């Protein structure tokens, strides 16, 4: 029987529905299968943390206990076994990070990521961090070289196993390469990169030179941190000099301006326990994995715990069973730009004291993934590498070279290894003598009750000039003549106040005979630490941890009331008046749930924008590292009724403040709606630990990063240091926080964000994000450890 047409028509959608359902099921099954395969493949490279592993080179068994936070406690019978194990265990957790770090510092990223990294590679080849690491290695003691060799041996044992068993971290598969063998120089070049990250102020010298070229002198000098002594003499040196700063240095890699830290130490007289208290939270980039790797090392006379940069042996900050120490960046002027005059008849020669000298030419070929090798050459004068030509063809008549303490042979790792076994201040200070670059503020405490401080590192002595501006390189009038004597570096032992604190602030008064820096951090973090440490007689370890999370904004305490007095409330919109109400009721803490911090920070940012954005190109603003301090000083001048070229050209102090407020409110309305009291600081200030590959695609971002940013309090001027980028994501702060009470030298409180592991499938990959944001700590001990046990045994 013929089926009715109507029934045929009805049956077609049902069949289509079945096909559609089966198609969806097929896609889901395929996706699930793909997910299971990728998950299983990725899991192959998870570190083995239980059982035993045979390793060549070991003398005896090594026990590695992973505690609840994933921190490895390594106990060995000899130093050889200890450092082989340290290299192996670091590589288990962080091999990709280690490889990326050495490639970045060495200028070898293009080889694995392609042409996108060529300019970056050129810059780091020009600086020559690897050349400096090679020169440094030659100066190390035989004992320190042996430690580097043992550590490299351990890294390579893991590398070889991972390649042989197809268990390399998934990042290597995504980029399509295998890591090269690890060498002792690789560890040293990572150390040199950290000196770069905390480095100096050449970029501001270049910016101030640019400002003098583009603005009238009075206007340019307002951008200086201080008026340069002898300015007419220095400025006269620039006559007939033509250096295009914008095209020469716009692509330079400039470290984060706010790299710094907090640290403080209290004597036993100021603690409830009767023993010294010490706290430290180094402020560096926040990312996945953490810049810090926490470990506990025990063998022979070593029993030390703390953190190290992945790829380096030893412990750089932490404690042993006798002493504890912490660091902040001193921020010294240890970089000078020299204006070099090239021989017009020979581009490899430069004028010096009326004669042309031959420069050193370094061949630095750059391999490029899926491209041809670039034949790149670096020119180095007596002062240092020419850095103003890395982005374009060489040949200009005048160029800029860079002299920098970290480009000289230095022995930081040797100092670290000696610090690890020091038992008192005398031994620790003796070890510091080899810690030359970067210059750091060390605070110290010991079980014998001593507390101490030293600003440690090579600090140049100059014939003329003081690190504010580029100086003539064609004469010996501006040469470095040596370094501040070690015994005359800033130092304090057992001060009467009973405490010592640093927060990248100015550490000396005007009586100190040597120049250290023009670019101290804004003083607000230090002032708040000092304020809290003066509140009562004695403190506990919990007080120290609470202070690390303190969000009091002393910048607002200084400026807010004066700024509010400028505003004519009758001229403001209703939303503007509501915002003022929030500011007047604000307790001046940068809490994530409050609207006032968001309004205040946006207001200050708008003042900065109105002053500079129309006249200073974005690339030059990147070189303007002391901008916040300059704006603060201009605001102080305005509040005191003093004139400023930058304010006057924009209508005067009061008009700029009012325009900036209205601009801030309109900006916030556009982003967050029309109800100021519902705005929250955390909306524009959210924590996000990004993986280096996550920016490549939304899929990798989903895989490697925590999906939702976490609203966060604090700011770059509070003790709880947290700085957001232009997208409102906090990517800078105290990635590791640490505090301990020397009443129990075997114990300390820590938190590493986002976690200990660099492996996306590890339980310790992102487990600390919320605890880090909330200020929760975990306890580690060096006299006992519990957790999973891995035994490294000598291979037969």
Q: In this structure, what token pair is assigned to residue 111?
A: 């080889």
How many angstroms separate the CA atoms of 613 and 631, rounded? 13
In a domain, 610, yes or no: yes
pLDDT cut 90: percent of the chain above it: 85
Full-prediction pTM beyond 0.85? yes
Q: Write the CA distances from 490 to 440, 466, 514, integer angstroms.
A: 11, 18, 10
Q: Is 333 annotated as a binding residue?
A: yes
**Residue 638 confidence class, pLDDT cut points 50, 70, 90:** very high
User: Number of C-alpha atoms within 13 angstroms, CB side, residue 557?
Assistant: 15
| Upstream peptide bond of 438 is cis (omega within 30 degrees of 0) | yes
Q: In this structure, what token pair is assigned to residue 95?
A: 């091999």
Give how many domains the chain has, as a whole number: 1
pLDDT of 289 reads 97
pLDDT of 28 reads 44
Is the separation of the CB atoms in 471 and 478 below 8 Å?
Answer: yes
pLDDT score of 20 more than 60: no
Q: Write the CA distances from 765 to 686, 690, 734, 756, integer angstroms.
A: 19, 12, 18, 6
pLDDT of 1 reads 39
pLDDT score of 26 more than 90: no
In a domain, 622, yes or no: yes
- Note the pLDDT tens digit of each residue in 180-224: 999 999 999 999 999 999 877 899 999 999 999 999 999 999 999
Nearest-CA neighbor of 243 among 400, 426, 474, 22?
Answer: 400
pLDDT score of 647 more than 70: yes
In a domain, 742, yes or no: no
- Note the pLDDT tens digit of each residue in 507-519: 999 999 999 999 9
Buried-exposed string 301-314: b where 16+ CB fall within 10 A, e elsewhere: ebbbbbbbbbbbbb
Is the separation of the CB atoms in 743 and 274 below 8 Å?
Answer: yes
pLDDT of 229 reads 53
pLDDT score of 226 more than 90: no
In a domain, 600, yes or no: yes
In a domain, 375, yes or no: no
Q: Is 774 annotated as a binding residue?
A: no
Which residues are CB-neighbours of 761 under 8 A, at least 6 positions away? 39, 42, 43, 46
In a domain, 621, yes or no: yes
Strand partners, 399: 340
Catalytic residues, by residue number, are 261
How many angstroms separate the CA atoms of 659 and 609, rounded? 11
| Upstream peptide bond of 131 is cis (omega within 30 degrees of 0) | no
In a domain, 402, yes or no: no
pLDDT of 389 reads 85
Q: In this structure, what token pair is assigned to residue 350?
A: 């430069």
How many angstroms separate the CA atoms of 554 and 563, rounded? 14
In a domain, 230, yes or no: no
The SS3 of residue 501 is strand
> The tokens 């609470």 sit on which residue?
546
pLDDT score of 551 more than 60: yes
Full domain range(s) for residue 665: 554-588+595-679
Is the separation of the CB atoms in 752 and 766 below 8 Å?
Answer: no
Average pLDDT over residues 257-274: 92
């Amino acid at each position: 029987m013929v089926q009715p047409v109507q029934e045929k028509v009805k049956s077609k959608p049902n069949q289509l529905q079945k096909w559609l359902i089966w198609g969806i099921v097929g896609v889901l099954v395929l996706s699930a299968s793909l997910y299971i395969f990728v998950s299983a493949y990725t899991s192959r490279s998870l570190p083995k943390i239980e059982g035993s592993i045979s390793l060549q080179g070991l003398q005896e068994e090594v026990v590695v206990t992973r505690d609840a936070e994933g921190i490895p406690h390594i106990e060995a019978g000899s130093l050889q076994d200890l450092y082989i194990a340290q290299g192996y265990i670091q590589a288990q957790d962080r091999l990709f990070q280690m490889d990326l770090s050495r490639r970045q510092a060495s200028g070898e990223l293009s080889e694995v990521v392609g042409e996108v990294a060529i300019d970056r590679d050129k810059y780091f080849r020009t600086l020559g961090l690897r050349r400096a690491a090679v020169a440094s290695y030659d100066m190390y003691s035989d004992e320190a070289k042996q430690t580097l060799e043992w550590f490299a041996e351990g890294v390579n044992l893991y590398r070889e196993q991972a390649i042989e068993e197809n268990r390399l971290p998934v990042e290597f598969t995504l980029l399509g390469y295998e890591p090269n063998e690890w060498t002792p120089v690789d560890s040293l070049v990572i150390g040199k990169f950290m000196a770069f990250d905390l480095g100096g102020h050449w970029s501001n010298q270049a910016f101030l030179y640019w400002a003098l070229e583009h603005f009238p002198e009075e206007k340019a000098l307002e951008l200086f941190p201080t008026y340069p002594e002898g300015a007419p003499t220095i400025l006269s040196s620039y006559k007939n000099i033509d250096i295009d700063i914008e095209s020469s240095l716009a692509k330079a890699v400039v470290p984060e301006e706010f790299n710094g830290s907090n640290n403080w130490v209290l004597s036993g007289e100021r603690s409830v326990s009767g023993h010294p208290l010490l706290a430290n939270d180094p402020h560096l980039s926040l990312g996945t994995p953490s810049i810090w790797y926490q470990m506990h090392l025990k063998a022979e006379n070593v029993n030390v715990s703390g953190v190290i940069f992945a790829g380096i042996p030893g412990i750089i900050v932490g404690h042993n069973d006798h002493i504890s120490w912490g660091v902040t960046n001193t921020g010294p002027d240890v970089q000078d730009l020299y204006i070099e005059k090239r021989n017009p008849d020979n581009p490899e020669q430069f004028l010096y004291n009326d004669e042309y000298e031959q420069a050193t030419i370094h061949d630095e070929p750059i391999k490029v993934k899926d491209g041809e090798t670039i034949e790149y050459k670096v020119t180095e004068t007596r002062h240092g590498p020419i850095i103003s030509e890395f982005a374009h063809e060489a040949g200009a008549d005048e160029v800029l070279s860079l002299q920098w303490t970290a480009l000289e042979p230095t022995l930081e790792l040797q100092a670290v290894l000696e610090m690890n076994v020091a038992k008192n201040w005398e031994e620790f200070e003796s070890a510091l003598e080899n810690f030359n670059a970067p210059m750091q503020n060390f605070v110290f405490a010991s079980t014998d009750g001593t507390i101490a401080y030293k600003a440690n590192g090579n600090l140049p002595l100059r014939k003329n000039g003081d690190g504010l501006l580029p100086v003539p390189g064609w004469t010996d009038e501006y040469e470095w003549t040596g370094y501040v004597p070690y015994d005359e570096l800033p130092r304090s032992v057992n001060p009467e106040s009973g405490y010592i604190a640093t927060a990248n602030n100015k550490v000396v008064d005007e009586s100190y005979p040597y120049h250290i820096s023009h670019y101290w951090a804004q003083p607000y973090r230090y002032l708040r630490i000092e304020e809290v440490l003066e509140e009562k007689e004695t403190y506990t370890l919990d007080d120290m941890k609470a202070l690390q999370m303190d969000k009091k904004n002393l910048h607002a305490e200084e400026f807010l009331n004066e700024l509010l007095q400028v505003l004519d409330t009758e001229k403001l919109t209703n939303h503007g008046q509501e915002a003022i109400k929030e500011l007047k009721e604000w307790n001046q803490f940068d809490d994530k749930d409050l609207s006032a911090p968001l309004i205040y920070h946006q207001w200050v940012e708008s003042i900065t924008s109105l002053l500079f954005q129309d006249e200073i190109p974005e690339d030059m603003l990147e070189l303007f590292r002391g901008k916040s301090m300059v704006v603060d000083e201009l605001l102080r001048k305005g509040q005191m009724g003093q004139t400023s070229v930058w304010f006057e050209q924009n209508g005067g102090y009061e008009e700029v403040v009012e325009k900036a407020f209205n601009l801030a409110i309109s900006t916030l309305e556009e982003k967050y709606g029309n109800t100021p009291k519902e705005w929250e600081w955390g909306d524009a200030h959210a924590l996000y630990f990004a993986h280096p590959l996550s920016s490549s695609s939304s899929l990798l971002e989903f895989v490697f990063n925590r999906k939702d940013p976490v609203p966060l309090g604090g700011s770059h001027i509070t003790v709880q240091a947290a700085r957001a980028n232009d997208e409102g994501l906090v990517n800078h702060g105290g990635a590791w926080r640490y505090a301990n009470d020397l009443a129990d030298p075997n114990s300390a409180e820590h938190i590493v964000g986002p976690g200990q592991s660099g492996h996306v499938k590890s339980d310790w990959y992102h487990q600390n994000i919320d605890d880090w944001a909330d200020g929760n700590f975990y306890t580690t001990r060096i006299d006992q450890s519990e957790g999973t046990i891995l035994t490294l045994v000598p291979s037969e």
